[in-house]
Amino acid sequence: MTEITFEGTPEQAAALKNCIDEHRGEAGALMPVLHEAQNIYGYLPFEVQTVIAEELNVSLAEVYGVATFYSQFSLAPKGKHKVSVCLGTACYVKGSDKILEAVEKQLGISCGECTPDRNFSIDSCRCVGACGLAPVMIVDGEVYGKLTAKEVAGILGKYLED
Amino acid sequence: MTVEQLRKIAAEKADLIRVRRIVREQAEKLAPRTGYRKQVLVCGGTGCTSSHSLQVIEQLEKSFKELGIDDILIVKTGCFGLCALGPIMIVYPEGAFYSQMTPEHAKTVAEKHLVKGGSIVKELLYADTVHEDGSVIPFAEIPFYKHQMRIALRNCGVIAAEDITEAIAAGDYSALAKVLTEMTPEEVISEIKASGLRGRGGAGFPTGLKWQFTRDAKGEKKYVCCNADEGDPGAFMDRSVLEGDPHTVLEAMSIAGYAVGADEGYIYVRAEYPIAVQRLNIAIKQARELGLLGKNIFGTGFNFDIHIRLGAGAFVCGEETALMASIEGKRGEPRPRPPFSAQCGVFGKPTVLNNVETWASVNPIILKGSEWFSSIGTEKSKGTKVFAVGGKIKNVGLVEVPMGTKLGTIIYEIGGGIPGGKKFKAAQTGGPSGGCIPAKYIDIGMDFDNLVAIGSMMGSGGLIVMDEDTCMVDIAKFYLEFTADESCGKCTPCRVGTKRLLETLEKITSGKGEPEDLVKIREIAEHMKSSSLCALGQSAPNPVLSAMEHFGDEYEAHIKEKRCPAGVCKSLLNYYIDPDKCRGCTMCARNCPAGAITGVVKGVHEIDTSKCIKCGQCMANCKFGAIYKK
């Protein structure tokens, strides 16, 4: 196995190898492996893609092609706290664009970016299916529903203190 | 497992499930036979867990320990449908419907209602279930449920979603047993054909015909796939079925496997649905353990197994050829058809692909017969359809009604109408591929063909309600942003067309629109419809075209008068203070980030429109409603 030269730990490398071994030889293994790899590292660095390409015996171009096609795969690291604002239709008609604006203003970055201290990153998503709570924002998996732009600062503040 | 063993499991828990399906008096008589004094059902679907229903369950367990209650069963179910009121908790045999539960409320209900000799805590019940005289209405009789007919959702919110024995007791796998022991593959297909079932994913293709094509295709190896890549934002019925009754999907796929001659299946599910994925994994594991998936099912020699594949956030993967490419581990790009997937699907083998809701309708058709199913609905659209009703409506949630039910029934009787006394303007169906239904069609019967006839489509059943505050140009722009973003880029009409349409709409909403823009939109739309590779590009212009047709005056207002009648498009708006309502509290001036508001304490304030950045902060902070925009 190729040595990983970025900030990966040996535990992460072992976990990746394990996951590749589990899927080796399986038809259509690339997607499940990329999912697992992103779970392990939080994103899909070039080094990890190289390992996957070599181990699964597919070209790096193919791995890169798949990794960049799907919006859930990220080639850049995310913030420690991941903020995601739903821009699905149900949330949008209830004003989730204003929620996103408030988040961007509060954190001083745009959607898709990460704060310089790597503490927060903002993404938009298309429907988490909690339409009854629209508009919603998700911070580290926790769903905040029936939001108003005013409440955003208070919610993000809780994560700032950690 | 044998068919007899299946029947034994079903019989053991039959009473337990029946108590949850019948009216109160009968349920109360039956309850003692279940071994439990009461049953408490708490919704464990995405909507309710997002508002902390799991903590409600924890609190109940804790309270039961403290109060020494050991004869009440707590059941974590899937979605009840009335998501706006989550977390929802129902107590049987009374059928008491508690809404918007918190752990504190759970504690109160445990202490006052669930203890021996306790009685219903009326003030915590969903208000619509209590009469003015204080008597309690069983929830099945309230308007939200009364007009519904639950076929695909029959077990959602009824059974414990992670317990295969409850699923079996509710009827799951008995259709598979019937098919494998009493029917030939041809009989199965003709039954599905006769039922008139059409695909619930959007296109409405006859399901039986699809199965027939795959059966007729040459090849030893065939696949059965489930499309659970519910990408249409605002539609969440597939997720609810997977969360509430995952076994019905596994069973129906096995039935199709028998009918078409396949021994392997894939479920392609959105990664954004972690609870659905987890429940599916549990369901597959349990089905394998009981021998309901795997080799020699019911000792009939029939083999079938199912794998899960996670999507990764690409809307185009809802298109069948793109979905299959994604299952194969490739970029999810569609390809030209023919060959159709019935001949050349996953890994180049004949494949039958159906949507989750379609699968969920198979068990009742087999058990109750095609005649029963085809007696429901309209001439060409049989059975029921689940709608995810959202947006500006009181009862946001999942609604299953017979095909042909009037839009007005869904919005006013089931949905409870528009909140805040606002006027209904339009309903959007079919998501980014569909169109809007204006208020004048409130009496239209919702089925496949009627919706197409007025320029919209059924789609997967998302139904977003819009009121007078929604700008139809802005909504069309919203959908184009979505499709431009999600276009995979493989074919030019879609890749370039979505972008050009979006730019034109941006031009119009920013006040720079010209009359020729409307001509240009039609021209681009025509090319996209005729020459895009897949349905994404072919249908992407629909939201604009249908909005232009039904709300042409709004487009005209934006272009000719540079005015947004709904007050949404920022560039066309200015904020003003009504001098009669302003009390001079200074709240607006203090909150204005641009320093555009001047005025003294207790004096009328004024907005300098040249400095105003139209953020709306002043309006949000004014306690006297003195600020307006036009």
Facing residue for B327 by CB, picked from A28, A69, A129:
A28
* Region at B227 (left for phi over 0; alpha for psi -120 to 50; beta for the rest): beta
Chain A residues touching B264 at Cβ < 8 A: none
Tokens of A108: 């001083």
Cis-peptide into B233, omega within 30 deg: no
- Token pair 């006027």 is found at B423
What is the nearest CA distance from B157 to chain A, expressed in angstroms?
A: 16
Are B157 and B78 in contact by the 8 Å Cβ rule? The answer is yes
Contact across the interface for A132 and B85, Cβ inside 8 Å: yes
Contacts 24+ apart (CB under 8 A), B604-608: B604/B577, B604/B579, B605/B577, B606/B577, B607/B574, B607/B575, B607/B576, B607/B577
The pLDDT averaged over each successive group of 10 residues in chain B (630 residues) is: 96 95 90 95 94 96 97 96 93 94 97 96 93 84 93 97 97 98 98 98 94 97 97 91 98 98 97 94 98 98 97 94 97 95 97 98 98 97 96 95 97 95 95 94 96 92 95 96 95 98 97 96 97 96 96 96 93 92 93 91 93 87 90
Q: Please name the residue of chain A whose CA is at the shortest distance from the CA of residue B324.
A: A28
Facing residue for A89 by CB, picked from B313, B428, B488:
B428
**Chain A residues with CB within 8 Å of chain B CB:** 27-32, 34-35, 62, 65-66, 69-73, 87-90, 92-94, 98, 101, 125-134, 136, 143, 145, 148-150
Whether the per-residue pLDDT at A162 is higher than 70: the answer is: no
- The pLDDT, as a whole number, for residue A2 is 34
What is the nearest CA distance from A14 to chain B, expressed in angstroms?
A: 23
Q: Please name the residue of chain B whose CA is at the shortest distance from the CA of residue A129.
A: B236
Tokens of B189: 């297909």
For the question of whether the overall pTM of this predicted structure is more than 0.90, the answer is yes
Span B436-445, pLDDT tens digits: 999 999 999 9
Facing residue for A132 by CB, picked from B84, B329, B462:
B84
Chain A residues touching B475 at Cβ < 8 A: 93
Contact across the interface for A71 and B428, Cβ inside 8 Å: no
CA B599 – CA B81 distance, rounded (Å): 50
Span B40-78, pLDDT tens digits: 999 999 999 999 999 999 999 999 999 999 999 999 999
Contact across the interface for A93 and B388, Cβ inside 8 Å: no
Span B454-467, pLDDT tens digits: 989 999 999 999 99
Question: One-letter amino acid identity for B424?
Answer: F
Whether the per-residue pLDDT at A1 is higher than 50: the answer is: no
Contact across the interface for B233 and A28, Cβ inside 8 Å: no
Contact across the interface for B309 and A30, Cβ inside 8 Å: no
Please give the DSSP secondary-structure letter assigned to residue B3: H
Beta strands per DSSP E along B223-363: 223-228, 264-269, 294-297, 302-310, 351-355
ipTM of the complex: 0.90
Question: One-letter amino acid identity for B293?
Answer: L
CA B77 – CA A96 distance, rounded (Å): 29
Beta strands per DSSP E along chain A: 81-86, 120-125, 137-139, 142-144
Are B406 and B480 in contact by the 8 Å Cβ rule? The answer is no
